[in-house]
Amino acid sequence: MFGPAFSSITRRRPFASRRVQVLTLSLFIFAAVALVSRLPAWPLIDYRAFDYLSTIGAEPLPDDGPIIVAIDEPSLAEINVQWPWPRSLHARLISALRAAGTKVIGIDIIFSEPSLPGEDEALAASLGPDVVLAGDETLVTSAQADQFIRVTPLQIFTEKMAMTGIASVGLHRDGVLREMPVYSDGFAAMIAAGAGVAAGGPPPGSLIQTFGGPRTYPTVSYYQALDPENFLPPGLFKDRMVIVGLSLQNAPSIETGGADAFATSSTVHTGKLTAGAEIQATILDNLRLSRYVTEANLPIRQVVLLVAVVFAALLVWRGTGWKTVVLGAAALFMLLAGSYLTLRFGRVFASPMAPSLAFIGIAVAQAGLDYAQERKNRRQITRAFSQYLAPALVEELARDPSKLKLGGEKRELSILFCDVRGFTTISEQLKNDPQQLTTLINRLLTPLSEIVLSHGGTIDKYIGDCLMAFWNAPLDDPNHARHAVSAALDMLDSMDGLNAELKAEAEASGRIHYPLKIGVGINTGECVVGNMGSSSRFDYSALGDAVNLAARLEGASKPYNVSLLVGEATARAALGSFMVLELDRITVKGKTEQSPVFAVLRQKPDTAVIERHEQFLTAKYAGDVNAQRVLSRELAEALPALAGYYGQFHGEPQSK
């Protein structure tokens, strides 16, 4: 009865079709992410990932790293001289540091213009090969051309063997300093050379490994370094590299900005800018210890992206669900962990962002497609079964379509047949008014169908005025026999209300009222249930001897003058909930053995009445007509519900 829709909605999508869908989706996501990751703005996403990964468990600060001599607030207050300070003051500092045993002194101040008379000479006199002065390189852009302009210290200083290092740094588009300087004569590189430390040039585009936020490096105030014997521990500067520059104690924030201060990878955690002197110290340690990080080249990034796409495709190859979420989360963690370990121990940064985006894109997109397919299946299931199953059962099937099994399967069912008594007579009387006949049948079958559905039954088919239904398929129903009998009793009760309505309508319109009566037969037994029919047209139905006997019981209910007749298996299963009495034994067409049939009583008779009924059956099976006649009269009075049945054995009119 369910037709082809049953097969189409319960069959899972062909595996080959799903494979094509997953492969197509994976290729599309791979190509899309590969293109998106080449856009100019994408590197900022990768760099932000670098900021977080490179600062997780930041490496410890080297013990022999440079010391910062900070031009800070205490120094400005203690020295109490307007900035810029006299160059003779810097000469005193250099002399004091040299006397304290420093290896090399880097002055992160650009002395490119003459100062007051005598000041330049004082500074020049203190310089030597152990001093590195800062220079600058600036890109000047005009409509005609782009020009790099270098600013270096005055010749009077360079003539004194002082080295010059370019202190310029390049910021990424988001204003964060991450990239190692490309200058071979960079400020930090020249400090390393002055200290006699080999520092190879990093590949272009290498990234800075930070060691912490502002004031990570050991820092002393400028005024303290002018007189280390009185203000600082003995031997602090012995054999150490020193960088002198602006370094405010209260590190400026991104919002307020600051002179010679930059956002670094550590800024994502601290929100603070790092002073230029500390930046140079960090670059110096990256150079001399090879702590800088190189970025993975394009082929490697594409291979990692492809691996992520393949893994995501395998993850959703057969389906998506809660396991997809768990395994997907584990895979993303592995991507992040792999990127972190490669960065930390291999000094190579392979960004996890593009592979993660591709992985999430495939998993989410396929989950969305599966969800849409599932919603479609649920709508189809609801449409296909809403006419045959109770709403609660339809919802259960929609939630779990696997409970539907295609093809035939052996299953114990309780089958119910219900037919209208005297329908041929009614049809003959209404032959000139087919519309009224159709309306009458619909008004009859509607409440009967609703009762079947309310008791969890499945409507198999309508055959004219006959209704066939069964229980325990397609969903399991352990109490299928009891539910079938309960439905049958409610169906019989519904006739009183329907006939009352029809009678009132007939009297109001002057028509003849044709009271409706039904007969019901129920049998329980093993059947084959599933899709029956041809490859182009089939119904979900049940076949088997148990079905034939149920139909026979419905037909036999009329000559036995009872409205409900059930088979032996049904009677046995329903015995705990209803009172049943054996009425006879019948032989089903095509079989030689007899099957007992039973009536269902709403109330249990007295024990004496049951005993008299058993005596009646003994006499009936023995052919003792006289005993039947006597006992049937007595039982007809004791059991009015079966008066029509007993009446046929003592000559009284056979009416219910």
**Same domain as 315, residue 285:** no
Q: Is residue 632 part of a domain?
A: no
Q: Is residue 365 part of a domain?
A: yes
CA–CA gap between residue 602 and residue 223 (Å, rounded) = 109
Residue 394 confidence (pLDDT): 64
Angle at CA 358, nearest 5°, toward 352 and 359?
85
Give the DSSP H/E element, type plus range, for residue 27.
Answer: helix 15-36
Residue 46 confidence (pLDDT): 95
Domain that includes residue 193, residue range: 62-290
451 neighbors 490 (Cβ within 8 angstroms): yes
The proportion of the chain whose per-residue pLDDT surpasses 90, expressed as a percent, equals 59
Residue 257 confidence (pLDDT): 46
Residue 535 confidence (pLDDT): 54
Q: Is residue 635 part of a domain?
A: no
CA–CA gap between residue 420 and residue 52 (Å, rounded) = 79
525, β-bridge pairs? 413
Sole residue written with tokens 């997780």 = 56
Q: Is the pLDDT of residue 11 over 60?
A: no
Which pLDDT band, with edges at 50, 70 and 90, does 654 fall under?
very low
Sign of CA dihedral 448, 449, 452, 458: positive
Mean pLDDT score, 144-153: 82
CA–CA gap between residue 471 and residue 454 (Å, rounded) = 12
Q: Which residue would you say has higher pLDDT here, 562 or 389?
A: 562
pLDDT digits (tens, 9 = 90+) for 245-267: 998 766 555 444 456 889 999 99
Q: Is residue 629 part of a domain?
A: no
| Alpha carbon distance, N-terminus to C-terminus of the chain | 34
**Same domain as 590, residue 519:** yes
CA–CA gap between residue 628 and residue 615 (Å, rounded) = 9
Which pLDDT band, with edges at 50, 70 and 90, does 55 fall under?
very high
Phi, psi of 400 (to 5 degrees): -140, 80
540 neighbors 6 (Cβ within 8 angstroms): yes
Q: Is residue 563 part of a domain?
A: yes
**Same domain as 486, residue 594:** yes
Residue 281 confidence (pLDDT): 96
Which pLDDT band, with edges at 50, 70 and 90, does 128 fall under?
very high
Nearest to 293 by CA among 210, 234, 217, 200: 210
Q: 3-state class of 523 per DSSP?
A: strand
Residue 60 confidence (pLDDT): 85
Q: Is the pLDDT of residue 511 over 60?
A: yes
Alpha helical stretches, state H, 204-297: 222-226, 228-231, 267-270, 276-289
Taking the CB of residue 644, how many other CB atoms lie within 10 A of it? Answer: 18
For residues 395-432, one letter each, b for 16 or more C-beta atoms within 10 angstroms of the residue's C-beta and e for the rest, the string is bebbeebeebeeeeeebbbbbbbbbbbebeebbeebee
**Same domain as 336, residue 269:** no
Residue 453: which residues within 8 A CB-CB, separation 6 or more?
388, 389, 390, 391, 459
**Same domain as 492, residue 419:** yes
**Same domain as 253, residue 156:** yes
Residue 353 confidence (pLDDT): 95
Q: Is the pLDDT of residue 269 over 70?
A: yes
Mean pLDDT score, 200-218: 90
DSSP symbol at 17: H
**Same domain as 310, residue 258:** no
DSSP symbol at 219: E
Q: Is residue 282 part of a domain?
A: yes
The proportion of the chain whose per-residue pLDDT surpasses 70, expressed as a percent, equals 88
Q: Is the pLDDT of residue 319 over 70?
A: yes
The angle that helices 322-346 and 298-315 make with each other, rounded to 10 degrees, is 160
* End position of a domain, from candidates 583, 604, 625: 604
* End position of a domain, from candidates 580, 604, 628: 604
Residue 248: which residues within 8 A CB-CB, separation 6 or more?
70, 72, 73, 258, 261, 275
For 52, 53, 66, the CA distances from 293, given in Å and listed in that order, are 14, 12, 20
For 186, 211, 398, the CA distances from 27, given in Å and listed in that order, are 45, 41, 32
Tokens standing for 408? 């035939």
Which pLDDT band, with edges at 50, 70 and 90, does 656 fall under?
very low
Tally of domains in the chain: 3
Identify residue 436 by its one-letter amino acid code.
Q
| Long-range Cβ pairs for the range 598-601 (8 Å, 24+) | 598/565, 598/566, 598/567, 598/568, 598/570, 598/571, 599/560, 599/562, 599/564, 599/565, 599/566, 599/641, 599/642, 599/645, 600/485, 600/488, 600/489, 600/564, 600/566, 600/571, 600/574, 601/639, 601/641, 601/642
pLDDT digits (tens, 9 = 90+) for 34-52: 999 999 999 999 999 999 9
Sole residue written with tokens 């139905």 = 541
577 neighbors 421 (Cβ within 8 angstroms): no
Residue 650 confidence (pLDDT): 76
Q: Among 25-29, 140-144, 298-302, 524-528, where is mean pLDDT lowest?
A: 140-144
Mean pLDDT score across all residues of the chain: 87
Residue 7 confidence (pLDDT): 40
DSSP symbol at 207: B
Q: Is the pLDDT of residue 384 over 80?
A: no
Mean pLDDT score, 408-429: 87
Q: 3-state class of 196 per DSSP?
A: coil
**Same domain as 110, residue 211:** yes
Stated pTM of the model = 0.63
Q: Is the pLDDT of residue 546 over 90?
A: yes
Mean pLDDT score, 208-212: 93
| Long-range Cβ pairs for the range 176-179 (8 Å, 24+) | 176/47, 176/51, 176/262, 176/263, 176/264, 176/265, 176/267, 177/208, 177/262, 177/263, 177/264, 177/274, 177/279, 178/47, 178/50, 178/51, 178/207, 178/208, 178/264, 178/265, 179/205, 179/206, 179/207, 179/208
pLDDT digits (tens, 9 = 90+) for 89-126: 999 999 999 999 999 999 999 999 999 889 999 999 99
**Same domain as 109, residue 215:** yes
Q: Among 211-225, 293-307, 362-376, 532-546, where is mean pLDDT lowest?
A: 532-546
Taking the CB of residue 236, how many other CB atoms lie within 10 A of it? Answer: 18
* End position of a domain, from candidates 271, 290, 309: 290
Q: Is residue 190 part of a domain?
A: yes
Alpha helical stretches, state H, 576-642: 607-622, 625-638
Q: Is the pLDDT of residue 653 over 50?
A: no
pLDDT digits (tens, 9 = 90+) for 213-239: 898 999 999 999 999 999 999 999 999
**Same domain as 463, residue 557:** yes
Sole residue written with tokens 């055959």 = 463
**Same domain as 521, residue 492:** yes
Identify residue 504 by its one-letter amino acid code.
A
**Same domain as 131, residue 105:** yes
pLDDT digits (tens, 9 = 90+) for 617-651: 999 999 888 888 999 999 999 999 899 999 888 76
Q: 3-state class of 28 per DSSP?
A: helix
Identify residue 127 by its one-letter amino acid code.
L
Residue 321 confidence (pLDDT): 82
Residue 515 confidence (pLDDT): 84
For position 469, which CATH number holds? 3.30.70.1230
Q: Is residue 648 part of a domain?
A: no
Which pLDDT band, with edges at 50, 70 and 90, does 153 fall under?
very high
